[in-house]
Amino acid sequence: MRNRYKFTFILWCFLTDLMALVFGVLLFLRISTEMAIEWNDLLLSKMVPITIFSWLFSVSYFRLYRMDTLFSLDAFYRNSWRSLLTQRILWQISIFIFQGSLRDSFGSRAHLFQLSFLLVYILLSRILFTLILTKIKKWAAKPYTVAIWGFNKTSIELASKLEANSCFIHFVGIINEDSYEDFNSREAFNFALNTAIHKASISSINELYIVAKPDFIVDLNYFFELGDQYCMRLKFVPDFSMISKVHFSTGNLDNFHVIKPRHEPLQNAYNRLAKRIFDLIFSLVVIVFILSWLYPILAYLIKKQSPGPVFFKQLRTGKKNEAFWCYKFRSMKTTGFDASQQAQKGDERVTPIGQFIRRTSLDEMPQFFNVLLGSMSVVGPRPHMLQHTKDYNDQINNFMVRHFIKPGITGLAQVSGLRGETKKVSDMKRRVNADIEYLQHWSLIKDVKICFLTVIVTLKGDEKAF
């Protein structure tokens, strides 16, 4: 039941989504014809293939039609919207490249109708898919039954996960949750597990997760063979809850089981490539379309108000604790002050133009050159001065974790109100926690969201920007 119904459901979702996108293109062309828009002949013949390939790229990247054992409705909805947004961006870029007109790609009535249709389709189709999923278990003559044996903290968390994502399985729960057995020996554990597997087979359980302390999981081959005899899939889950009280990440390196202190999406080469492409495109757009005219204006005002260079450069701590030169528009006087001192509210070192560019964050704009050179990213933990890195590392245990990735021009901490001067160690701890949260939950959509929020915060004005 699990694979057959799941495959049918996923295939049906894929085909209906694809047909809706193609219909959206036909609707777009129909309205464009009524508006007498003249399309490039090459683009006209490629609109449907561009739509299909951009959608395939989007759903592959976000793994929308995944065939995992667990199927999460929340993830399905979230990735549906992400895939649609990515596909629309690729679609608009393609039209602009072939047509060379922003009006035809963004401002036309045809685009508005097409986008409205797709948004309504995604919303209604996901509601329909939800209704279908609630009925699937009732349609199955023999549901795929899954259970857990072993009552501990790890099994409770696993049960919660299975229960929340059990659209295509019948999860019966922890079969020994009323038992408080504390096994004193491997022999006692083996006897109890033998009995449990036998009882599970009588109850027609197809897959049994066995959650136990690593010390007890020794004779796996014997139990796997026992499960095979009962035509039951056994899966062992080590219970590390007594060893570590924090969440960690596990994986495999060939035949080696690896435990890591945290999940890091940017350890994946494809994710790093996607982030680097985003950084390159974003920084080039800013440099070409903003800095090209902003630099001469700010350079003139900076030089006019105080002697010294236009740029201020300082060694900051980067990825892997390696120092790099970080560039900013100079906002302070260059002589008679301690350069290592953090800026404070009402700092007399700050020039009039410096106050403006610091308040609007324009002083950070030259760091897009750092992004282009590869020493920084658009989004990431803010880089600190070398001495500050050393000082805080002595006081905050996980401070250096934020240096596992490239520093950024903006970051989750900055859009969460944690920028500016850090008067207390607790202030820096909150900033570090936000940086680590970003490192653990990175996604391209999160980068786009943080960039958008940075613009909003800048336009509203941040009282900590001084």
pLDDT interval class at 344 (50, 70, 90): low
Instruction: Confirm if 250 and 263 have CB atoms less than 8 A apart.
Output: no
Mean pLDDT of 98-115: 68
Tell me the per-residue pLDDT of 52-95, one tens digit each, with 9 for 90 and over.
Answer: 999 999 998 888 887 665 677 788 888 999 999 999 888 888 87
User: What is the percent of the chain with per-residue pLDDT over 70, rounded to a whole number?
Assistant: 85
Q: What is the pLDDT of residue 141?
A: 58
3-state SS track over 62-93:
HCCCCCCCCECHHHHHHHHHHHHHHHHHHHHH
pLDDT interval class at 153 (50, 70, 90): confident
CA–CA dist 51, 91 (Å, integer)? 7
Which has the minimum average pLDDT: 12-16, 363-367, 420-424?
420-424
3-state SS track over 130-163:
HHHHHHHHHHCCCCCEEEEECCCHHHHHHHHHHH
Q: What is the pLDDT of residue 1?
A: 47
Which has the minimum average pLDDT: 16-20, 43-47, 86-90?
43-47
CA–CA dist 264, 66 (Å, integer)? 21
Structure tokens at 204: 């027609």
Residue 391 has pLDDT above 70, yes or no: yes
- What CATH number belongs to 145-245? 3.40.50
Q: What is the pLDDT of residue 26?
A: 86
pLDDT interval class at 371 (50, 70, 90): very high
CA–CA dist 30, 224 (Å, integer)? 61
Q: What is the pLDDT of residue 286?
A: 94
Mean pLDDT of 423-441: 89
pLDDT interval class at 44 (50, 70, 90): low
Three-state SS for 167?
A: coil
pLDDT interval class at 117 (50, 70, 90): very high
Most confident of 21-35, 82-96, 306-320, 413-427: 306-320
Long-range (24+ apart) CB contacts under 8 A made by 276-281 are 276/374, 278/378, 278/444, 278/447, 279/371, 279/377, 279/378, 280/371, 280/372
Q: What is the pLDDT of residue 42?
A: 53
Residue ranges per structural domain of the chain: 2-139, 145-245, 269-460
pLDDT interval class at 152 (50, 70, 90): confident
Which has the minimum average pLDDT: 24-38, 244-258, 416-430?
244-258
CA–CA dist 462, 356 (Å, integer)? 12
- Axis-axis angle for helices 73-99, 109-139 (nearest 10): 150
Tell me the per-residue pLDDT of 163-219, one tens digit each, with 9 for 90 and over.
Answer: 877 777 888 889 886 655 667 788 888 888 999 999 999 988 999 999 988 888 778
Threshold 0.85, pTM exceeds:
no
Q: What is the pLDDT of residue 423?
A: 67
Tell me the per-residue pLDDT of 270-325, one tens digit each, with 9 for 90 and over.
Answer: 899 999 999 999 999 999 999 999 999 999 999 888 888 899 999 999 999 999 99
pLDDT interval class at 465 (50, 70, 90): low
Q: What is the pLDDT of residue 466?
A: 45
Greatest distance between any 2 Cα atoms in the chain: 87
Residue 108 has pLDDT above 50, yes or no: yes
Mean pLDDT of 216-229: 87
Q: Which residue has the higher pLDDT, 428 or 4?
A: 428
Q: What is the pLDDT of residue 249?
A: 76
Helix (H) or strand (E) holding 410: strand 408-410
